[in-house]
Amino acid sequence: MARMASPAQLGYPAAPNRVGKRRVITAPRHLLQIEGMHPPQIDTMLDLAESYVLLNRSGTTQRDLLRGRTLINLFFEDSTRTRTSFELAGKRLGADVINMSVSTSSVNKGETLLDTAATLNAMNCDLLVVRHGQSGAPNLLAQKVDAAVINAGDGTHEHPTQALLDALTIRRRKGRLEGLVVAICGDVLHSRVARSNIHLLGTMGCRVRVVAPPTLIPNQAERLGVDVFHNMKDGLQDADVVMMLRLQRERMSGAGSLVPSPREYFRFWGLDAEKLAFAKDDAIVMHPGPMNRGVEIDSAIADDPVRSVIREQVEMGVAVRMAVLDLLARSNRRND
């Protein structure tokens, strides 16, 4: 069996410390956003995830770790890879995993988010993974439930586990994060993935660029500490990492005004071999999925076995989510 880094080696106590009768929690209670996290906290999560990569590759599981714990996947928005990834992560650690999607829940019958929270609380769930169309919904739930809440994407706000899995993928390929030039290209305006990545990569010392037409860049993006580019040639120049984003048409009201036709968009903003040549020779290509082939990325690039790390991102996703569930379960131990 692959050797797991011990919690102490990672800077976390194996179990919450006690000072007299008071419990002192040093691991985070929830994972709601990357903004505000410090480099050692991020490193701890990435290091633990790294050990889960080895464990997963060795074909072993750690089913005793979350035995008797309940994880509820509460998804108010469609998802394939994120939900499956959390489900697999929970099961590999031995948790009882329940998937609740909106179409089968009472929310469609008019129940409010807070009623749902009260119901879930009564079920003594330990870990609550939430995806919601409204920015801030997981934060609200975190105030109302006893479970540890993990944000699996809220509106255009954040998607912390995606940024962690992206960072792990980059770190494994490049050997470091500090000093790398990362170009995040496409629909930055609507992307919670971009926002979480900007916070994480900036905190870890990357030079982050956003590359998109002005209509797809948030107002005052520079305040987030990024450099803004309005053409792929300049934006990709000497980049170590090229991260492509999907056009999130479902979040565009009056979509016609924000982007030209898909064909036109591909011509100026779609990543093909010609545009990738502006980046460093060994630049890697990333995409959180789902991809619109032929719109923001050419199929040949997405499937390029040398440059594209898109499949590796999916693998890292499971390891990162195992690490997050592990850490949160440690700090939210019941009955002690």
How far apart are the C-alpha atoms of 187 and 269, rounded to whole Å? 10
Query: What single-letter amino acid sits at 29?
Result: R
* By CB under 6 A, residue 289 contacts ligand NCD: yes
* By CB under 6 A, residue 73 contacts ligand NCD: no
Q: Closest CB to ligand NCD among 186 and 235?
A: 186
DSSP class of residue 6 equals P
From the CB of 317, what's the least distance to ligand NCD, in Å? 8
* By CB under 6 A, residue 82 contacts ligand NCD: yes
Q: At 175, is the secondary structure helix, strand, or coil?
A: coil
Place of tokens 């992307």: 191
Distant-in-sequence, close-in-space partners of 305: CB < 8 Å, separation ≥ 6? none
* By CB under 6 A, residue 81 contacts ligand NCD: yes
* By CB under 6 A, residue 197 contacts ligand NCD: no
How far apart are the C-alpha atoms of 258 and 188, rounded to whole Å? 12
Nearest residue (beta carbon) to ligand NCD: 246
Query: What single-letter amino acid sits at 146?
Result: D
* By CB under 6 A, residue 321 contacts ligand NCD: no
From the CB of 269, what's the least distance to ligand NCD, in Å? 15
How far apart are the C-alpha atoms of 79 and 196, rounded to whole Å? 18
How far apart are the C-alpha atoms of 178 and 174, rounded to whole Å? 10
In terms of DSSP H, where are the helices of the chain?
Answer: 39-57, 81-92, 113-122, 137-144, 160-174, 192-203, 232-236, 262-269, 273-276, 299-302, 310-331
* By CB under 6 A, residue 156 contacts ligand NCD: no
From the CB of 227, what's the least distance to ligand NCD, in Å? 22
* By CB under 6 A, residue 195 contacts ligand NCD: no
From the CB of 305, what's the least distance to ligand NCD, in Å? 21
* By CB under 6 A, residue 144 contacts ligand NCD: no
Residues 248-287 that bind ligand NCD (CB under 6 A): 248
Measured at the CA of 93, the angle between CA 159 and CA 100, to 5 degrees, comes to 55
Residues 231-250 that bind ligand NCD (CB under 6 A): 246, 248
* By CB under 6 A, residue 293 contacts ligand NCD: no
Rg (CA), the chain: 20
Q: Closest CB to ligand NCD among 51 and 197?
A: 197
From the CB of 325, what's the least distance to ligand NCD, in Å? 17
From the CB of 155, what's the least distance to ligand NCD, in Å? 9
For binding to ligand NCD (CB under 6 A), which residues are involved? 81-82, 153, 159, 162, 192-193, 246, 248, 288-289
